[in-house]
Structure 1
């Protein structure tokens, strides 16, 4: 139609986003159109204007410029303009000239776009349908949120992440031993909660030395972009609350805990999750509360979810461990004395579980003892019935195995801190390398020997030395170079300590012997680390970057990166004690303890920087000590008193609390030291036996249930190996205008194409893009390569654009088929379930957007079951948009009728979809609610608010699913053509 009249309403075929246009003026040569909503004016040639007249029919909803709406019943023409006749929302019959239609009317729905002649490409329609199909499938996967991160699939990490992220507002203590991946567990939990909508905002508090590492890990492993907040960034944001700057905020504990004003701002924000790393540094006792603990406690009172991370939950004793649990649930953990009494009961439960594994066992006294041990902790009829079945000597073996598993799970659920604390040990996980200790005894240099001999002769000299140096006891005895530096005014101390200290020359010799092997050196304080680096440079020409607390985050990362580079990096990195917390140096296998820390947990943290999951070599621990010195005596206490170098045991904090003072007093008295070592060993052996029999035994059994872990990993691998992923991504990249070039080695390089749509993650026009792989193993081997998965931000962005926008929701195609005459019309319609619900409910696990496809011929016959989507698509031919618009215009009334009929056909499918979703939801939540209600009667670790939230969630989901409706998502018109048509 090319005869235009002022006041008519048209839309632009090429710029549909301009909205509804009004003809301003026209003549034989040109036509001018005002697009009021976007305040744009366009002038076109009258003969070739890319415009489509907007014409509404019976049943369409339209809006007046004054805001009221009406449903069209009929129309008439007056002066070249259409006048619509219909009823408004109050039932009153009204007339509305097209010139008074609202400029802001949107043509986003498939029906509106189709009937106004707006059609997309066929491959867009195909991609939209496939996106709906894959999104429906992926959203219901039990691996959702766990499959995308770039991590190794390790059972205990997968189990913990799956278990914790399923809970409402989880509040747990992640306390795996050093090197078992607490940061990865926290990242997995956060990633799943964010992906499923159960959390939208999180505050992450970590030591200053680990801020940048967390930032990089969350981005590199989990594709989570985090706002790193410090004082400089806070001030740069102006007078507002800086904690509102992002969804995920990462902040230094050192900065926040020292700044009451910033604490108030953090507490004023709405957070869904609080993550606190190295939580053992939070100081608490019944008499006093440290500022860091007080800050976290206030946040914990208002933030629903909370993850505390520590490898040493009992570093400062049982009271310190209780303090962490008190943050998670102050109602449950209100009394230290009650907590200590409860801990003693766990020995019986652990013994019962061990006895359970032996039942039914041999006849006689042993079987009776085992049954009695289990019966002592069984306290309900269901468990008693399982025990009776299990203990029956002639019971069915399969039934007994099932009963054993059920009863073990019940005992683990109902006793202990297993719901709030997850602690895996290395011996439980397995697969860790051997540790080898190499002790090098060196002669005391005279500047050190002179002071130590005077100490042996004069008991009062120690007090003088403490005053003179300002050092503490026993640091002044163990760290002789620090003592020497502190005595700088002594005329005999005229040269730097590293010039005469034989440990420096010993280290230079060792570096030469080790060749290209990387060597991590840890010393107690910053001055020692700096002096050692200077000595290596001056005496041996060895460049060693230094990693210490005085460096900025960027400087620390630069030092760590210089060490990590396998080809051009330096051989040695020198760290102060801060290097033993949080950093991962598992690519290295040689650790030099230049001196020894005074606390056993710090010793384990040092070793744990190398001895981690993924370490493929034995850990070579080198300890240079001065013969006969306090440092050598300290080494003896570690070796002989607690096997500290062999493997982590988690008892160091308790042993230090018991014997730390006696050890300090015995460092100059070998006879006294022998007594301390003997007493330490006795307590170590005793506590090890008690721990393995009690709570830690329960924690280990509960921290990784292997059947659940195996099922989770199997679900992840199923998504990893999904062949549809590569096909889908290739098709989507092509349609979104991204160039993908195979560069070999299972790698592809993605870069923006000339027609790329804006806003795709990692792809900016004019920049080079990034390399990626679909292989988990390949991505783990290359830090510079991203891993493409269904959860990668690029894939999710493309799927989101399609599902939330109009791309591909209309199309027209030609079908040439020998058995179908030309000129026939078919309509292929895709309806989608619509179920508004708060994101936090994660409705999609039970009812993700579900496609209902309906294929009708022009008579209204339903051909859906006879003709598949794929089979039909393969035989379709594209058509030019101008031809498509003319075809649609000529079949308006017929298409309206088919749209109405298709809706009725689709509605027949809705009840079964709703019923199936409700069954899935009730089956999962009812079982979980029943389990937790039973568990809460016996284990106070199940919070009442968790039960309440689950009941409310079930009711809300039931109502939401019941209210599900269908809406038209996409429509494709198919016109048949004769065989001889070209």
Structure 2
């Protein structure tokens, strides 16, 4: 039976895993669950009773506690407990535990000392170092960008960094195909989560992209999203959307199930991201169900990220509709929007000659302002050289048999065309030079058959397989095998199996069959043609001559030049040509098929030329200027590279592994194997499975080996270690003896911490990073804090060994009152710093928010835009921050007694 059964509602508990939430209140105990409300953080947590990481807070006689009115008592007597509400009696006053101030801290290092329990100086030093790292990380503007398993691409970092500074990010991301919209969204989500700006994130995706997003978020950002599918919401007793704060959901599920839609709307999401937003249909006469779903969900969420293809390739109405989701007040009238665009086109001619400050004002006042981002390959190619050339190698194969190859709709079968191309593949592999081969085709059946044929015909060939039936772990192993220099020669891959994966270490692609449309063709090539690909890409394409395969191939090659360049407006051009293309492919007669193809190519070239001209004419120069700034982007990349070169994290974690009992083995200069030791300090080390993991601190190595864990200050292991050390007694009391036995003074080296309370959605750490106040005092009240540094004190003392009975006896003889009085002296000195700390923080908050509010007010006067919502959010954030600052206090974190 659970020990929570008889706990009274109102009892006070603390979370061991999230102590920064403050003092919680039991709100509900039922159905094997226990729910707490944390007033300081304004958050609710629900746990299973069997594994709830919480413990009841019971203060002792002599402790000082504060109630909600700010009144303080020293406890003289404790009444109640167990299954009763506790009452604390003081001198003429009494507080119920339900009245206690929720911002109370619970670390009591002096209690350990009274029990003669303490740690060595090295452990005390590690705790102090951990506090310093926590402080530094909270102030680091790059937090959230450091640990992503990504190449450092300037425009992606620039965009994410810029949007992260918005009070409530609501943006439309519309970079061209291959520039990394998913990465941009992931960077933004990751940063907002680590900065405590958001906690509940929902990603809505179309059918087929669920797994891609899950993999991208996990592999690149260490974010563990939960995928909600049709089976998840049928339990009448639970809402699965409440059970995880990070959720990916197929929008088709919400369209097909009213229940699922109702359940997802019960949750207050902090941020919603919607992929393929151009599929949300809207017109003057009405909107699609998908559009209505996103509209309703996004109305309740402060943050919204829409990801779309080139925005206007699906019409001006669709572009307006997506902007309306982002900002319904600003984009409320389609006719007005179109008229403003025409007015802007006249102004755009003057932009190249304008000064920077005037351009910044124009971005705010005209068009889509700061909510719309679009980078193009053309623009980026002018700045950076990270796009490879695509080199097509075509291999026409003559069909000498009397059998016809299967039609396009039956091309998954392993018949004549498959056999002809299998023979070609054997010859190709036998004659190829060095390099990895990435082979892709439509069906798993073909892949498995190819594996068998290659093994039978090419001795000792090393093959990796990748298809949708493999588990996540099996896929990782296959990629690692393919990535290793002496690993697999060829990867046989299906369309679905490769979603969300990075194969940029390969540059040779065999396209064993052709996809149905140019979008899918671009996705295939995009497996290798990625930002970060350092070599030219060779596309090897075998096809059967005088067949529908040749017709489709020539349409892609000669009509669209799709093998050399990304097709702009691919869906539009495909829709225009689809019927003619279909008819040409079905024509069995050589002469008539040739004529049909000739006509098709003329029509395709003409329509594609017109489409590209329309898209180019629709370019928005202000949008391009808003989307990228080379100087800012270069600075971000440079700062992250500097952080990557630093060895501070490795040196810190090496100490942590040593002191906490994690075994570490160097595999080479950039990779290490760690596993739980037999005598670990804690039962479970953060992010370390029982079997161990291979880690690397090197970004380039991590990009090569997806099966390695890329450790950075952003990684959950680093964050978990900091939380583990600071939320436990680890190093919070240390005792040492003077090396110079003639010194008789008793010295207290005390570490006080000012740490703001955490509140959902409020950037407390950004404005109020942890402050550390070190004091060095004796029992007579003398202050040596400025005279001797911690490092100097380390040189003057010795640890007490466990068999040093004399030192333990002398320590036990130090009166309890002497210790408490000495700590009071240290507290009195430390607290003198508090007013200046709080005043500095308060001034920073007021200055920042007043400046932003003034800017928005001026903007409203200039262009008659309604910025009241954003101003209200800034005013509320300012108010919340000052309220949190007022309630936040300094506390004793740790101390070292030297005698």
TM-score by length of 2: 0.78
CA offset at residue 141 of structure 1? 0.7
Match of 1:64 among 60, 78, 83: 78
Could you tell me whether the CA contact under 8 Å between 1:196 and 1:839 is conserved in 2?
no
Superposition pairs of residues 167-206 of structure 1, within 5 angstroms: 167-206=166-205
Query: 1:491-550: per-residue Cα shift (whole Å, max 9, x none)?
Result: xxxx97426985565555444443665555556x65xx746875896699579999778x
CA offset at residue 612 of structure 1? 0.5
Q: Residue 81 of structure 1 aligns with which residue?
A: none
Distance 2:136 2:721 in 1: 16
Query: 1:251-294: per-residue Cα shift (whole Å, max 9, x none)?
Result: 44455543333232222223222233334444455556444444
CA distance 1:328–1:514, shift in 2 (3 Å): farther
- In the alignment, is residue 602 of structure 1 matched against residue 503 of structure 2? no
CA offset at residue 696 of structure 1? 4.6
Q: Residue 434 of structure 1 aligns with which residue?
A: 389
Match of 1:423 among 374, 393, 396: 374
Match of 1:481 among 407, 410, 418: 407
Q: Which moved more, 1:433-442 or 1:330-339?
A: 330-339
Match of 2:731 among 808, 824, 829: 808
Distance 2:729 2:239 in 1: 37
Distance 2:61 2:597 in 1: 97
Aligned-partner SS, 1:123: helix
Q: Residue 407 of structure 1 aligns with which residue?
A: 358
Query: 1:739-763: per-residue Cα shift (whole Å, max 9, x none)?
Result: 2333332333222221331232233
Distance 2:653 2:447 in 1: 53
Could you tell me whether the CA contact under 8 Å between 2:313 and 2:615 is conserved in 1?
no
Q: Residue 706 of structure 2 aligns with which residue?
A: 783
Q: Residue 34 of structure 2 aligns with which residue?
A: none
CA offset at residue 868 of structure 1? 0.8
Could you tell me whether the CA contact under 8 Å between 1:206 and 1:253 is conserved in 2?
yes
Match of 2:772 among 851, 859, 881: 851
CA offset at residue 857 of structure 1? 2.5
CA offset at residue 627 of structure 1? 5.9
Aligned-partner SS, 1:573: strand
Superposition pairs of residues 537-548 of structure 1, within 5 angstroms: none
- In the alignment, is residue 646 of structure 1 matched against residue 564 of structure 2? yes
CA distance 1:258–1:503, shift in 2 (3 Å): farther
CA offset at residue 847 of structure 1? 1.5
Could you tell me whether the CA contact under 8 Å between 1:504 and 1:536 is conserved in 2?
no
Distance 1:353 1:885 in 2: 81
Distance 1:305 1:342 in 2: 26
CA offset at residue 143 of structure 1? 0.6
Could you tell me whether the CA contact under 8 Å between 2:483 and 2:704 is conserved in 1?
no
- In the alignment, is residue 743 of structure 1 matched against residue 694 of structure 2? no
RMSD value, Cα:
4.1
Could you tell me whether the CA contact under 8 Å between 1:580 and 1:605 is conserved in 2?
no
CA offset at residue 876 of structure 1? 1.6
Superposition pairs of residues 98-109 of structure 1, within 5 angstroms: 108-109=107-108
CA distance 1:154–1:931, shift in 2 (3 Å): farther
Distance 1:485 1:723 in 2: 54
CA distance 1:943–1:546, shift in 2 (3 Å): farther
Q: Residue 327 of structure 1 aligns with which residue?
A: 325
Could you tell me whether the CA contact under 8 Å between 1:119 and 1:884 is conserved in 2?
no
Distance 2:93 2:772 in 1: 32
Q: Residue 110 of structure 1 aligns with which residue?
A: 109
CA offset at residue 432 of structure 1? 0.7
Aligned-partner SS, 1:695: coil
CA distance 1:353–1:673, shift in 2 (3 Å): farther
Match of 1:354 among 345, 352, 355: 352
Aligned-partner SS, 2:349: helix
CA offset at residue 624 of structure 1? 4.8
Could you tell me whether the CA contact under 8 Å between 2:514 and 2:549 is conserved in 1?
yes
Query: 1:599-652: per-residue Cα shift (whole Å, max 9, x none)?
Result: 443332332222111222222234456667666555555445544333225333
Q: Residue 571 of structure 1 aligns with which residue?
A: 490
Distance 1:440 1:886 in 2: 89
Q: Residue 41 of structure 2 aligns with which residue?
A: none
Superposition pairs of residues 611-650 of structure 1, within 5 angstroms: 611-624=529-542, 635=553, 638-648=556-566, 650=568
Distance 1:208 1:769 in 2: 35
CA offset at residue 215 of structure 1? 3.2
Distance 2:594 2:695 in 1: 61
Q: Which moved more, 1:942-951 or 1:858-867?
A: 942-951
5+ residue gaps in structure 2?
A: 1-59, 65-72, 81-85, 97-103, 586-591
Could you tell me whether the CA contact under 8 Å between 2:61 and 2:76 is conserved in 1?
no
Distance 1:134 1:559 in 2: 35
Could you tell me whether the CA contact under 8 Å between 2:215 and 2:500 is conserved in 1?
no
Superposition pairs of residues 159-174 of structure 1, within 5 angstroms: 159-174=158-173
5+ residue gaps in structure 1?
A: 1-53, 72-85, 92-104, 357-403, 450-478, 487-494, 976-982
Q: Residue 772 of structure 1 aligns with which residue?
A: 695
Aligned-partner SS, 2:304: strand
Match of 2:680 among 735, 755, 760: 755
Distance 1:940 1:676 in 2: 51
Distance 1:129 1:538 in 2: 62
Superposition pairs of residues 489-568 of structure 1, within 5 angstroms: 497-498=415-416, 505-514=423-432, 517-520=435-438, 526=443, 530=445, 534=449, 557=475, 561=479, 564=482, 567=486
Greater C-alpha Rg: 1
Distance 2:881 2:546 in 1: 71
Superposition pairs of residues 900-939 of structure 1, within 5 angstroms: 900-935=824-859
Q: Residue 266 of structure 1 aligns with which residue?
A: 264
Could you tell me whether the CA contact under 8 Å between 1:520 and 1:572 is conserved in 2?
yes
Distance 1:165 1:695 in 2: 25
CA distance 1:284–1:437, shift in 2 (3 Å): farther
Distance 1:808 1:536 in 2: 57
Could you tell me whether the CA contact under 8 Å between 1:312 and 1:601 is conserved in 2?
no
Match of 1:303 among 301, 304, 310: 301
Superposition pairs of residues 448-463 of structure 1, within 5 angstroms: none
Distance 1:574 1:786 in 2: 24
- In the alignment, is residue 88 of structure 1 matched against residue 93 of structure 2? yes
Q: Residue 504 of structure 2 aligns with which residue?
A: 586
Could you tell me whether the CA contact under 8 Å between 1:196 and 1:840 is conserved in 2?
no
Could you tell me whether the CA contact under 8 Å between 1:432 and 1:612 is conserved in 2?
yes
TM-score by length of 1: 0.72
CA distance 1:942–1:307, shift in 2 (3 Å): farther
Could you tell me whether the CA contact under 8 Å between 1:211 and 1:553 is conserved in 2?
no
CA distance 1:583–1:835, shift in 2 (3 Å): closer
Could you tell me whether the CA contact under 8 Å between 1:325 and 1:333 is conserved in 2?
yes
Q: Residue 799 of structure 2 aligns with which residue?
A: 878
Could you tell me whether the CA contact under 8 Å between 2:467 and 2:498 is conserved in 1?
no
Match of 2:877 among 923, 928, 953: 953
CA offset at residue 201 of structure 1? 1.8
Query: 1:348-395: per-residue Cα shift (whole Å, max 9, x none)?
Result: 454333233xxxxxxxxxxxxxxxxxxxxxxxxxxxxxxxxxxxxxxx
Could you tell me whether the CA contact under 8 Å between 2:272 and 2:305 is conserved in 1?
yes
CA distance 1:349–1:596, shift in 2 (3 Å): farther
Distance 2:356 2:877 in 1: 29
CA offset at residue 836 of structure 1? 3.0
Distance 1:234 1:209 in 2: 20
CA distance 1:557–1:849, shift in 2 (3 Å): same
CA offset at residue 590 of structure 1? 3.6
